[in-house]
Amino acid sequence: MLSKETPLYGRLAATIDRFMTIDLTGVGLIDHLRGALERRQQGPICMGAAEIIVNRVREKGGPVLIATGFPEGGGVPETDGPVGAALLARALFLGLGVESVIVVDEDWEAMMRQTCLGAGLAPMPFPVSGVIEPIAFLRPVYIRTVPKDAEGCRAVSDDLLERTRPSLMIAIERPGANANGLYHGLGGRPLDGMVGDLDYLFRTGKELGLPFIGIGDGGNELGMGVLAEDLPGFSPKAADCGIPGRGGVAAATAASHLVISNVSNWGATGIIAALAGLLENEVVFHEPELETRCIEQCVAGGGVDGMFMAPEPAVDGISAREWEGLVRSLRGSVLRALGHSVNWKGDRGDWRQVK
Tens of pLDDT, residue by residue over 123-170, are: 999 999 999 998 988 899 999 999 999 999 999 999 999 999 999 999
Q: Report the distance separating Cα 142 and Cα 98, nearest Å.
A: 12
pLDDT at position 349, please? 40
Q: Cβ contacts of residue 161 below 8 Å, gap of 6+?
A: 201, 204, 205, 208, 210
Q: Report the distance separating Cα 310 and Cα 16, nearest Å.
A: 30
What letter represents residue 300's amino acid? A
CB 150, CB 107: distance < 8 Å: no
Q: Cβ contacts of residue 84 below 8 Å, gap of 6+?
A: 68, 172, 173, 215, 264, 265, 266, 267, 268, 269
pLDDT at 345 over 90: no
Average pLDDT, the chain: 94
Q: Report the distance separating Cα 265 and Cα 215, nearest Å.
A: 8
b/e for 136-172, b at 16 or more Cβ within 10 A? eeebbbbbbbbebeeeebbebbeebbeebbbbbbbbb
For residue 341, which phi and psi values (nearest 5 degrees)? -95, 120
Query: In CATH, what class is 7-340?
Result: alpha beta
Q: Cβ contacts of residue 90 below 8 Å, gap of 6+?
A: 119, 120, 121, 139, 141, 286
Q: What is the mean pLDDT of residues 97-122?
A: 98
Task: Grade residue 312 by pLDDT with cuts at 50, 70 and 90.
Answer: very high
Burial of 239: CB neighbours in 10 Å, binned 0-12, 13-18, 19+: middle
- Render pLDDT for 207-250 as a digit per residue (tens, 0 to 9): 999 999 999 999 999 999 999 999 999 999 999 999 999 999 99
pLDDT at position 308, please? 87
pLDDT at 353 over 50: no
* 303 closest CA partner among 321, 316, 288: 316
* 86 closest CA partner among 142, 48, 135: 142
pLDDT at position 348, please? 35
pLDDT at 181 over 80: yes
Q: Cβ contacts of residue 68 below 8 Å, gap of 6+?
A: 81, 82, 84, 85, 102, 103, 104, 112, 171, 172, 173, 174
Distances (CA, A) of 126 to 171, 233, 298: 19, 43, 20
pLDDT at position 342, please? 67
By percentage, how much of the chain surpasses pLDDT 90? 91
Q: Report the distance separating Cα 196 and Cα 113, nearest Å.
A: 19
Beta bridge partners of 102: 66, 143
For residue 213, which phi and psi values (nearest 5 degrees)? -100, 125
CB 286, CB 116: distance < 8 Å: no
* 285 closest CA partner among 12, 27, 32, 43: 12
Q: Report the distance separating Cα 190 and Cα 238, nearest Å.
A: 13
By percentage, how much of the chain surpasses pLDDT 70? 96
* 176 closest CA partner among 231, 117, 109: 231
The continuous run of DSSP H or E covering 329 comes out as: helix 320-337
pLDDT at position 74, please? 86
- Render pLDDT for 12-29 as a digit per residue (tens, 0 to 9): 999 999 999 999 999 999
The reported pTM is 0.95
274 phi-psi bin (left φ>0, alpha ψ -120 to 50, beta other): alpha
pLDDT at position 354, please? 38
pLDDT at 340 over 50: yes
Q: Report the distance separating Cα 107 and Cα 85, nearest Å.
A: 17
pLDDT at position 73, please? 85
pLDDT at position 352, please? 42
CB 153, CB 200: distance < 8 Å: yes
